[in-house]
Structure 1
């Protein structure tokens, strides 16, 4: 069992967080973790051996337990056969951790890592709290929901259990942005978010569309190793960036965002009040990105462009949209934000 400990062994205020895999799970968990650290809680984190959470948690000097487990939906037969054994091993590791360090509360953020952690909490009779980031509750959270002390969600959910809509916890720098769109400009500032790995369809199709249009200034975040290829696709000067470490700077600059509709992207744009054209990933489990985007569209804060119709739909949308329209959408987007997600979760689990 891989454990990194940089905290005291026991504390009357001990909480175990489970979050791994993608930023959609990890970043809201980290926002809550920062609050707990500030309040002197003894914090533990369950993650995976090679996930991005491992590096982030290490920098925060949080007690880390590594669980070698993956998902089971859509996997090969060999993975399904080995899953029960991996699950049992992880379950025992977490139960040992809970007992040894007298952990009294467990907070899970969904994804495959949450299942053994949540069931360990149930078996050890510890309080289990769940946070769901998407409009559709994920499989792990759904299985754990009947045992939860409290369920927090970013959106209204269709489940049998009661839940509290508190939004997705957002990092402080982004939460404090006071966005204003200046309608006195000649051009619209577009921020394109291709993701950390670079969404191929966004990187390949959008430059061709934007080359035809003149009323935009563009920053395109393209993902690792995609910069040189992407710059060649543009026939005008565009700011192409592989990674954006200071995203708040670009949120302040942008008038419109083109991006996937993952939970944290949606939450951050709601928080800032940035209108968006969402291109949902069509193969997301339970089609949750489509549902996330539809929630914003229904409130007037965003538009949806289907991935398989990006050539015609996106060009049409960009030709029609104006700064005045962006201002209206910005106001609608901001109306969806939840200012106190971290505080609401903290006040229930403390």
Structure 2
């Protein structure tokens, strides 16, 4: 069986696709990937050993009408290119993960009678998936409340957001050794996504004295590459303090880093939240306030309501709410255990397997069974 996966624009589209690819390959499938020539997928997918084919695609700016014409022309040309490609490789199913590039790939599949499965990572469906969902054979969602974005009777299933095997299978002992942690150390991991989060950095820096007053606490702080110098200067750590507070602009061994963590402070992007959930780590989530349709808050809400994490609005970071939530987890083992138990009940670690089941059903022509 051959599956073509497609998505682009951000790692949030690509990482779930790579997680699915791993499961399909374990099941004996051949996997190919269709993405844009200059997006992150052009680097991440070949690095994962998956054959990559590039297609031009772009969005449009409503303030500049000419961009719409250019975008439509690129999609039309890429659709024709995808049809020619499909005639050569004869895929059994196409799986779209969002991003403009998935439009021509899925449209070509529709024209040729190839089943199309979509996966939406966020609580608010993106433009590409919303457009393609009208004709897709199956639509897989991360959050149940996303069903309201689709027409009644649409062939949907809530699978969760697939997480990379390197995260799920990361060894805690290896992660703890990476940061030279003892069994008695409690590790607080702070990160804001691949680019960092300035307001989170500032709020954590403001709590320096209170954090370091807890002798068992170790902080691993991923500031984002552009923020590292500013955070280093603001903290002004002594040699002894720096032994307990690790500052890094970026970490490419994220699986082991998450495996080592006991408490997390993070944004609530789809990938970050899925990885936190898959590892069942107690967390304080601070949604990015300028995300489209405030989707990070919506992403986090059901997770928080299930008892898996605390949520603090970005606007409340400078008040009492953030330290109260953070130290409730740092100081209370029972609260941490409760959030861990609730997170494990979400079964996020099984999302890739569940999505692979739907893909197999679509390839076999059994999409009518997907509810």
TM-score tier, shorter chain, comes to: 0.7 to 0.9
Change (3 A) 1:225 1:284: closer
Matched, 1:342 2:340: no
Aligned to 2:230: 229
The corresponding residue for 1:288 is 295
Aligned twin of 1:5: none
Q: In terms of mean alpha carbon deviation, does 22-31 or 73-82 score higher?
A: 73-82
Contact 1:26 1:53 in 2 (8 A): yes
Give per-residue Cα distances to partners, 1:246-268, cap 9 Å, x unaligned. 22322232221111111111111
Counterpart Cα distance in 1 of 2:50 and 2:253: 23
1:207 to 179, 194, 205: 205
Give the Cα–Cα distance (whole angstroms) in 2 for the partners of residues 325 and 235 of structure 1.
Answer: 32
Q: For structure 2, which runs of at least 5 residues remain unmatched after alignment? A: 174-182, 361-371
> What whole-Å deviation, never above 9, does each CA across 1:77-129 have from its counterpart, x for those lacking one?
44234221122112112122112222231000112222222222111211001
For the residue of structure 1 that corresponds to 2:21, the secondary structure is helix
Indicate whether 1:168 and 2:161 are aligned: yes
Instruction: Give the counterpart of 1:314 among 319, 322, 330.
Output: 322
Q: 2:116 touches 2:137 (CA, 8 Å); kept in 1?
A: yes
Q: TM-score, normalised by structure 1?
A: 0.87
Q: Secondary structure at the match of 1:258?
A: strand
Check the 8 A contact 2:62/2:68 in 1, yes or no.
Answer: no
Change (3 A) 1:74 1:267: farther
What is the count of residue pairs matched by the alignment?
Answer: 335
Per the alignment, do residues 174 and 63 of structure 1 end up closer, same or farther by CA in structure 2, a change over 3 Å counting? closer
Question: Is the CA contact (8 Å cut-off) linking 2:37 and 2:55 kept in structure 1?
Answer: yes
CA distance, structure 2, for counterparts of residue 330 and residue 200 of structure 1:
27
Is there any run of 5+ residues in structure 1 with no aligned partner, and where?
A: 1-12
What residue number does 2:249 align with?
A: 242
Q: CA deviation at 1:298?
A: 0.5
User: Secondary structure of the residue that 1:340 maps to in structure 2?
Assistant: helix
2:321 counterpart of 1:333: no
Query: How far apart are the structure 1 equivalents of 2:172 and 2:351?
Result: 19
**Is the partner of 2:123 in helix, strand or coil?**
coil
- Residue range with higher mean Cα deviation, 196-205 or 303-312: 196-205
With normalisation by structure 2, the TM-score equals 0.83
Q: Match for 1:97 among 81, 85, 96?
A: 85
Q: After TM superposition, which residue ranges in structure 1, 4 or more long, deviate above 4 angstroms?
A: 73-76, 177-180, 185-188
Superposed CA deviations along residues 233-257 of structure 1, whole A, max 9, x for unmatched, are 2144220112222223222322211
Conserved 8 A contact 2:307-2:342: yes
Shift of residue 338 of structure 1?
A: 3.1
Q: How does 1:41-60 map to 2 (within 5 A)?
A: 41-60=29-48
Higher percent of residues as helix: 2
- 2:282 matched to 1:275? yes
- Structure 2 CA distance, aligned partners of 1:73 and 1:212? 46
Distance 1:345 1:204, change over 3 A: same
- TM superposition shift of 1:174: 2.5
Residue 227 of structure 1 deviates from its aligned partner by: 2.3
Give 1:128's match in structure 2, choosing from 110, 113, 116: 116
